[in-house]
């Protein structure tokens, strides 16, 4: 039996012009129901104002099947970009997905990717596809646009966004705490004796995180009452010569960036690290060469996104909430050979 009362089951069946058994199979997300019939049943359910709990439906499906495998259903993982699998070239995006996949599987879900730029698939059609398949949970991976919009029929889904690139609708989101992450990096550099520390990244990267990188940097120097801190380097065009000119002009002792290419630029200009210059990678990954940095713990970010969606499904919460919740995962300092040993310098913690 589904979680729908028998009397309501009969009313829905009559309205959709199907049998009560068909309504029950739709609620259990049975595979032998045609998309057209499934859509008609759900239209009747929505018209009658009944909102079945998707978790209860999934549980009853499992009980009926007698299968030892717990399968709570599918969560949609929406990706973007010019190429369907282009996001897999970025270590942090891969880690988002891996963390989400592992957490989903641990809870009995399957994580399935949907490319938003698939030819012939409009937002309206994608909404119908997900709905017809009984997919109620949606995770929006970081979009290719800094301030993207998605016009799915959100009233049908429980959803969460990873990061800040989705501007509209304003939904609950999960992200690394970039503001705190850069404060950690700056404190560690001060502890190692660095004073002239600069922040460098393409402007689009700061914009993608709602300017939390630059906000943390400016706040750090404000707390120090340091009116002569190095100017930010946040250009629209990310070019080697302009970057090195900025390093010389600001008389820097250390650079904080999220582009490991900057480290190579410094070395090509004759700087020896850490003797002449310190470097911290805000987007640290084991895949890059050894250096000091911040592990944004993207696997934990992806896992937290699944937790948010499943929690909403458990509470039968569909649609965009009136009050969004932002989950911030703290970054972790990773020492490395691109900065001096703190034991050789007095502490200057802010």
Q: Is residue 68 part of a domain?
A: no
Q: Hunting for tokens 């582009």 — which residue is that?
A: 259
Residue 265 and residue 189 share a domain: yes
Q: Nearest-CA neighbor of 114 among 143, 90, 91, 80?
A: 80
Residue 339 and residue 240 share a domain: yes
Q: Give the number of domains in the chain.
A: 3
Q: Is residue 170 part of a domain?
A: yes
Cβ(219)–Cβ(253) below 8 Å? no
Residue 229 and residue 244 share a domain: yes
Residue 4: asked if its preceding bond is cis (omega within 30°), the reply is no
CATH of the domain at 15: 1.10.260.40
Q: Is residue 349 part of a domain?
A: no
What is the average pLDDT across 72-92? 90
Q: Is residue 245 part of a domain?
A: yes
Q: What is the average pLDDT value for the chain, to the nearest integer?
A: 87
Vertex 77, ends 50 and 312: CA angle to 5°? 40
What is the average pLDDT across 320-330? 92
Quote the domain boundaries for residue 84. 73-176+299-330
Q: What is the pLDDT of residue 58?
A: 46
| pLDDT band, very low/low/confident/very high, at 147 (cuts 50, 70, 90) | confident
pLDDT tens per residue across span 106-135: 999 999 999 999 988 899 999 999 988 889
HEC letters along the chain = CCCCCHHHHHHHHHHHCCCHHHHHHHHCCCCCCCHHHHHHHHHHHHHCCCCCCHHHHHHHHHHHHCCCCCCCEEEEEEECCCCCCHHHHCHHHHHHHHHHHHHHHHCCEEEEEEECCCCCCCHHHHHHHHHHCCCCEEEECCCCCCCEECCCCHHHCEEEEECCCEEECCCCEEEECHHHHHHHHHHHHHHCCCCCEEEECCHHHHHHCCCHHHHHHHHHHHHCCCCCCCCCECCCCCCHHHHHHHHHHCCCCEEEECCCHHHHHHHHCCCCCCCCCEEEECCCCCCCCCCEEEECCHHHHHHHHHHHHHHHHHCCCCCCCCCCCEEEECCEEECCCCCCCHHHCCCCCC
| pLDDT band, very low/low/confident/very high, at 64 (cuts 50, 70, 90) | very low
Q: Is residue 124 part of a domain?
A: yes
Residue 111 and residue 101 share a domain: yes
Residue 306 and residue 216 share a domain: no
Q: What is the pLDDT of residue 343?
A: 60
Q: Nearest-CA neighbor of 212 among 140, 286, 146, 304?
A: 146
* pTM reported for the whole predicted model: 0.79
Q: What is the pLDDT of residue 101?
A: 97
Residue 116 and residue 97 share a domain: yes
Least confident of 37-41, 139-143, 264-268, 323-327: 37-41
Residue 191 and residue 234 share a domain: yes
Residue 182 and residue 172 share a domain: no
Residue 54 and residue 29 share a domain: yes
Q: What is the pLDDT of residue 13?
A: 87
Q: What is the pLDDT of residue 304?
A: 97
What is the dihedral angle through the alpha carbons of 272, 278, 283, 288, rounded to the nearest 10 degrees? 30
Residue 268 and residue 149 share a domain: no
Bridge-based pairing of strands 254-257 and 278-281 is parallel
Residue 190 and residue 43 share a domain: no
Q: Is residue 41 part of a domain?
A: yes
Least confident of 1-15, 23-37, 88-102, 223-237: 1-15
CATH of the domain at 158: 3.40.50.2300
Residue 339 and residue 227 share a domain: yes
Would you say residue 31 has pLDDT above 70?
Answer: no
Q: Is residue 350 part of a domain?
A: no
Q: Is residue 106 part of a domain?
A: yes
């Amino acid at each position: 039996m589904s979680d729908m009362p028998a009397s309501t089951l009969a009313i829905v069946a009559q309205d959709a012009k199907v049998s009560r058994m068909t309504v029950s199979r739709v609620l259990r997300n049975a595979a032998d129901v045609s998309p057209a019939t499934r859509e008609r049943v759900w239209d009747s359910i929505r018209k009658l104002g009944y909102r079945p709990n998707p978790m209860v439906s999934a549980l009853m499906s499992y009980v009926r099947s007698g299968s030892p495998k717990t399968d709570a259903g599918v969560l949609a993982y929406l990706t973007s970009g010019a190429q369907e699998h282009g996001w897999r070239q970025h270590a942090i995006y891969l880690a988002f997905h891996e963390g989400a996949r592992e957490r989903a599987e641990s809870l009995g879900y399957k994580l399935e990717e949907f490319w938003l730029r698939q030819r012939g698939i409009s937002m309206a059609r994608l909404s119908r596809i997900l709905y017809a398949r009984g997919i109620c949970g949606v995770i929006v991976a970081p979009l290719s646009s800094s301030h993207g919009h998605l016009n799915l029929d959100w009233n049908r889904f429980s959803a969460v966004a990873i990061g800040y690139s989705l501007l509209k609708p304003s939904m609950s989101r999960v992200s690394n705490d970039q503001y705190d992450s850069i404060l950690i990096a700056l404190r560690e550099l001060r502890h190692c004796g660095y004073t002239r520390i600069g922040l460098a990244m393409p402007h689009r990267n700061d914009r993608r995180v709602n300017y939390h990188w630059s906000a943390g940097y400016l706040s750090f120097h404000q707390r120090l009452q340091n009116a002569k801190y190095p100017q930010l380097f946040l250009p629209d065009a990310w070019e080697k010569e302009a970057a090195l000119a900025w390093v010389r002009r600001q008389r820097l002792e250390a650079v904080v960036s999220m582009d490991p290419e900057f480290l190579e630029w410094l070395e090509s200009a004759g700087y020896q690290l850490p003797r002449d210059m310190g470097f911290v990678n805000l987007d640290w990954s084991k895949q890059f060469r050894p250096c000091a940095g911040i592990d944004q713990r993207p696997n934990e970010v992806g896992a937290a996104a699944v937790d948010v969606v499943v929690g909403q499904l458990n509470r039968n919460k569909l649609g965009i909430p009136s009050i969004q919740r932002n989950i911030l995962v703290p970054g972790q300092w990773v020492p490395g050979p691109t900065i001096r040993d703190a034991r050789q310098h007095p502490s200057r913690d802010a």
